[in-house]
Every structure is written in C-alpha cells, then in structure tokens.
Structure 1
Amino acid sequence: MTTSAIDKPQINAKIVYFGKLLRSIIAEEFNAHIEYLDDSKSFKSYFDNQSLLSIPDIILIEVDDNKDCFDQVRYIKENPFFQGLIIVLLGVKEDKSWRKKALELKVNDYYTYPFPLEDFCERLNFLVKFKLIKPKLMELAQQTDVVYQIPLSKRIFDLVASGSALLLLSPLFVIVAILIKLESKGKVIYKSKRVGAGYKIFDFYKFRSMRSDADKMLQSMADLNQYANDDTSKNGKTAFVKFKNDPRITKLGAFLRKTSIDELPQLINVFIGDMSLVGNRPLPLYEAEQLTTNEWSTRFLGPAGLTGLWQISKRGQKEMSERERKELDNYYADNYSILLDLKIILKTIPALIQKEKV
C-alpha cells in the first residue's frame, strides 16, 4: 500500500541526490523537494552551474558503485562557495574503510541501509536547523566577545588549580577509562558542543556515562524532561533538558554521576581557557539558542564554569524552576568575584553527592 504524502516524513530542505541503488526508496518514503543526479558528469555540471540563491541544503551521495564518491566530497569541501552544504553518505554494504574515509573528510553523517527512515528524516531536519542556528551563535559570539574578558587573577587561579588537579588525578583518570571500556562499547570521553561566555562555542568533555546511542533516544524521552511542564516554557518548549532516572545511563555511569567523577575531564576545559572553575554551566547549542533575549542573555556575559550557584542551590532538584536557574545565572554574571568563587567552591564539596538521579 502506498503511503500518502501527508503520512510521509517531511524534510524541510532542498535536497540533491546522487546515485540509483536507494533512489526509489528515498523518493517513495519522503515528502521533500529532491533533485536527482545520475552520473559524475551531471554531478559536476550541476554544481558548476549553481548560484548563491540556488545552492541546495543537503547532498545525499551513494557510496556503493560510485568510485568517485570521495572525490565528489572533496570537490564540495574544497569549494568555499559550498561550505554550508550538508553532506550525507548512503550505502548498502557496510565497509569500514569507507567509513574511515568519510570520517576523515568530515561529512555530516553516514547511513548504511536498512536504517530507520523516520530517524533519517529527523536527522536531516536537525542538520538543517543546526546550520541555521550556528551562524547566529557565532554572530552573537563576535558581538559579545569584546564585552566579556576573564579577570587576570581568576585566570591565573584557574590555571594553577586545574593544572594541579589534573596532575594529581591522572591515576584516577586511567582507572575510570579502563572501567568504562570494560562495561560498554564506545569512546571513554564524551565530547559535545557547548556555548560558554560570550556565546563562544567549544568542545565540552565528560567521562561517558551513557549508552553509545543516547543521543538517538532523546526525542522519545521528551515527556520525561523535568522542565517540560514548567510554567515558563512556551508551547511545550523549554531551554533546559534534564531527566529523572534517565534510562540511558549505564550502571558505572550512575556511580560516576552520583560522585561527579564524570565531570572531571572538564578540568581540561578549564586549563585551556574554555571555562573557569566557577561560573554558569555552558549550555548545549539547542538550549543556548533559546536564551538570546535581553532578559536572559546576561548569563553569557559571565564565565562558563565547572561549578556555580545552581550546583550549590538545590542542585538538580525538581522544585528548582527553569526561571530560578536563569535568575541564578544572571546573578552570578552580574556579581562574580574571587570571594564569591571561593564561597561557591567550599559549598560545592558537600553538594557533589546528589540525592536524585538526574
């Protein structure tokens, strides 16, 4: 039975598709504007004739039976005109060498069929949305970078304290890394993009405490977000995401979180200057994008931190509303000082053992 256009997953983007093996599946299953290219000659001709207004949002390139696949990716990557183009590779045969090449070329994603078509659609829509959000955040970073500058005394304290801690805790780092590897497959360090002081985007480090497919489970768990029903959320959307009894957390991960050991790799962020020991928690891109109004953007005019007022004030408890978190962040940005930092650090130690699994 043919799926109606209304029931098909909607991809809100202009897409170009190169290849024939999966073409019929993509054409039948998705409701999207797709232009198809058949051979290498038509591929080059198509991109050579693009103008600034006609560039597509996404290029889907089949890997199987396409000896020019990676040359095509390089052609796009090396042309400044196509820097915003989202590149996703599709395959029928799983090949580690192809995946390795794709990783080296930094394509946006790589799928091997069969894959969940709804997840694929959701991923493409996310990539398009992220493409729109990132320039806004970068523009905000340029506007506020001249406003925020970490005090020299605070930076010196961060360097000495984080450097000493990394040296002393290095044996613990090794032990935790081994335990994580023994419990489950995946990387030891979880790296995500976060927004810190002045809307600066940086790589944020933590010991992995979740399953390797945790990000894919996020949408299906939206109703578990403790901030979802907060009075300050609009149309069901909230700036913060936090789950109670998160099912994605591994057994070792639960211990690492309860003791806050999972946060220790952020000492590297402090040492290299992405964060300070004390400040407002750096936010994921999708959260920071919702805090760009005059009322709440103040939090980004103070340092991003490993610990802060939120951590020592009813840390992670459900009764702390989203508005309270925002107000604490704004207060710290307006009032931070060495004395306040020392008070927060002293109060952080007893706050490390959390009562709730959040």
Structure 2
Amino acid sequence: MTHPLASEWNENAGSHTRIAYAGLELKELVATELNPYFRIIFNDSLNKIEEYLGNQSILSIPEIILLEVDEDGECFGLIERLKKNFMFNGLIIVLISLSNDKELKLTAMRLKVHDFYIYPFSMSDLRERLNFLVKFKLIKPKLVEISKVVDIEYSMPPGKRFMDVFISGTMILVLSPAMLAIVIAIKLGSRGPVIYKSRRVGTGYQVFDFYKFRSMRVDADKMLVELSTLNQYANANGGTKAAFVKIKDDPRVTKLGNFLRNSSLDELPQLFNILFGNMSLVGNRPLPVYEAEMLTSNEWSMRFLGPAGLTGLWQITKRGKLDMSERERKKLDNFYAQNYSFWLDLKILMKTVPALFQKEKV
C-alpha cells in the first residue's frame, strides 16, 4: 500500500476549490502544477479578472484569488477595491511575485493578503498552503467546538505537574529580587512595557498568553517582514518559506535585551506560565501563531501532542548554532512528543544551564 506524501495531505479536497488566476509570466507553470488539484479560471490581466469577478453571483465566487504581482503595483489597487466590496470579504488572496522587492511584500502585508510567494518557490508548498487556507476558513468559526472533541488530548502526568508547580513556585520566590531589578532596568533603559506578551500555540494547538521580559524595540513585530531575508531557517531552506524565525544579530534587540537574551533572563516570566499550567518546565517551545499554522501537515503536527515547555531538546542540542536546520528542529520536537519521560526531563534540565550561555546572538 502506498501512503501519500505529507505535503499532499488534503489535495483531494482541493479538486472542488475554485481559483481565479491573473497573470502571464507563471501561467504555464501554475497550469501544469495546480490544474490537477484545483478548478482554475485563468485571466491574462488584472482587468480581465476584475471583469470576471464582477460577473459572478454569491454562489459562483471562487474561494481563492491568485495574482501575479505586476511591475506597476496595480494588483494592490485591485485588492483594495475587492476588500471594499462586501461580496468579496471572504476571499482568500495570495500573491506571487517575480521580484524580491521588499516594498512589494510590505505593501501586501499592509493589505493583509493571506500569503506572498517570491519565485522561485516550491509549487508543492503553495499547493499545501492553498489547501490549508481553504480548510482553515471553513473550520475557523467552529474552532472552539472542535477543540472540545479532538481525537487525541494530552494529559499532564501528575508527577510532572507536581514538579512544575514546586520548582516554578520556588524559583519565583528565590528570584523575585533579580526580577525586580530587571523590571527597573528595562523601565530606565527604554520606553515601552516591561513584559512582552504574545499569543502562542502550545499543547493540542491551544493558544495562550506567553510572557517574557521585553528585550526588543516596541515596534519589533512590525519590522519582522523587513528582516525576513535574514531568517537563518529560510536561508537554510534555500530562501523558501520557513516555519520558524530566527535572526542572527537581530537589530530589533536592545542593549539590555542582548544581555537578557544571552543569559536567558528574559525567559523568567514564563515561570508564571508554568505555574498557571500553560507550559511545563520541559517540553516543545510554544510557537507564535504565524509559525504554528505552517506546521499543520500530518508529518509535523505530532510536536503539538506533547507538553509545551520552557526548555527542551532543541535548547540543549543545537540552540544558537547556524547549522540547525528547520527539519532538524522539527524532528527533535517530534521525538520529545513521542518519548518524553521523567528521566528524559531530568536529563534535559541538567543540560539546560550550560546551554543558557550561548555564543551566537540568535
């Protein structure tokens, strides 16, 4: 029996998905690679696709708009017009560009398109992404109900939970003077909140508020798109879209933030995440939503069936090393999710302290 590749996890469902495409440069490639999996309506120009969309009823509107980015940026004007029309509010919009111009990508992000691909890219990645976006659009209104009836649910072993509460509670008491000093230093060093709070995805794709001492500028999230070419995981993948983000010598980090990161003191507020039960001392790092949504294939969803943790296999093996590939990190996460135990946790905790003082600024 032949098993399907992980990258083709939902392509049979895609055969009923309609895509309205506009462009000539990549038309032949798209026709060859995507036609077997989607129903594609090809349009040679932006005017043609706008005319086509204007003739559709609410029952015949395609699920996806796939546009080639033109040199004059007229595609952005089309997107703005579509977003103003209530009939097209639910459209999935994906752009593909032959230019690596950062301004084009920034404009696309400001318009909140669903994705932006720069050619050359993997057509199988695009295929999987389009299928995921359609499926996510269908299930998003029912995510709360779905989370209550998931097939596999992680249950924290009582011994692991006891160790988490005891150690995190003790550390909070012992380290409270140091944490107070860090709070004062951050306040004096730069404007902005002391605690950086972000939405993270942990065990079973559960989303929670994740705490760290702020080590970056307050506009760090907005700068991420501009710095995407410096992502070490994307570079390791030959410049293709990467699930994880890690930037060497990140210019968004403050001077105090460099010290906090290199000593891992910025992680101390996560002791409260552990105490509240969102995380464990040892597990797979909870991911930002934009990273987690790219790890939805059968091959990699395994990492979310184990505990989310403050430290883990990734931290003690190759954290901070440039030769850490995205695939290696995923494999470490999957291994832990399948094999975690008290003794493995103890081994990881013992090796964590030396790993805290890393040499690479990543």
TM-score where L is the length of structure 2: 0.65
Q: Secondary structure of the equivalent of 2:210?
A: strand
Correspondence list, 1:31-50, <5 A? 31-34=81-84
Cα displacement string for residues 288-337 of structure 1 (whole angstroms, at most 9, x for unaligned residues): 11111111111111000000000000212110111110000000001101
**What residue number does 1:220 align with?**
226
Runs of 4+ in 1 over 3 A off after TM superposition: 30-33, 53-58, 116-121, 126-129, 131-146
Q: Secondary structure of the equivalent of 2:227?
A: helix
User: Is the CA contact 2:231–2:246 (under 8 Å) kept in the aligned structure 1?
Assistant: yes
**What residue number does 1:241 align with?**
245
TM-score where L is the length of structure 1: 0.66
Q: Distance in 2 between matches of 1:158 and 1:352?
A: 19
**What residue number does 2:76 align with?**
10
Quick check: 1:252 aligned with 2:230? no
Q: Distance in 1 between matches of 2:78 and 2:171?
A: 47
1:205 to 208, 211, 218: 211
**Cα distance change on mapping 1:163 and 1:180 into 2, 3 Å:** same
Q: Distance in 2 between matches of 1:318 and 1:31?
A: 44
Q: Distance in 1 between matches of 2:148 and 2:304?
A: 12
**What residue number does 1:153 align with?**
159
Correspondence list, 1:286-305, <5 A? 286-305=290-309
User: Is the CA contact 2:283–2:336 (under 8 Å) kept in the aligned structure 1?
Assistant: yes
Segments of 5+ residues of structure 2 without an aligned counterpart are 1-69, 92-102, 116-132
Q: Distance in 2 between matches of 1:317 and 1:219?
A: 23
User: Percent of counterpart pairs with the same letter?
Assistant: 58
**What residue number does 1:342 align with?**
346
User: Is the CA contact 1:214–1:248 (under 8 Å) kept in the aligned structure 2?
Assistant: yes
Q: Distance in 1 between matches of 2:255 and 2:72?
A: 42
**Cα distance change on mapping 1:255 and 1:340 into 2, 3 Å:** same
Q: Distance in 1 between matches of 2:75 and 2:88?
A: 23
Q: Distance in 1 between matches of 2:151 and 2:209?
A: 18
**What residue number does 2:32 align with?**
none
Structure 1 vs Structure 2 CA RMSD: 3.1
Q: Distance in 2 between matches of 1:254 and 1:120?
A: 31
Code of the residue aligned with 1:151 in structure 2: it is P
Q: Distance in 2 between matches of 1:195 and 1:334?
A: 18
Q: Distance in 2 between matches of 1:318 and 1:135?
A: 40
**Cα distance change on mapping 1:309 and 1:248 into 2, 3 Å:** same
Code of the residue aligned with 1:7 in structure 2: it is G
1:318 to 304, 319, 322: 322
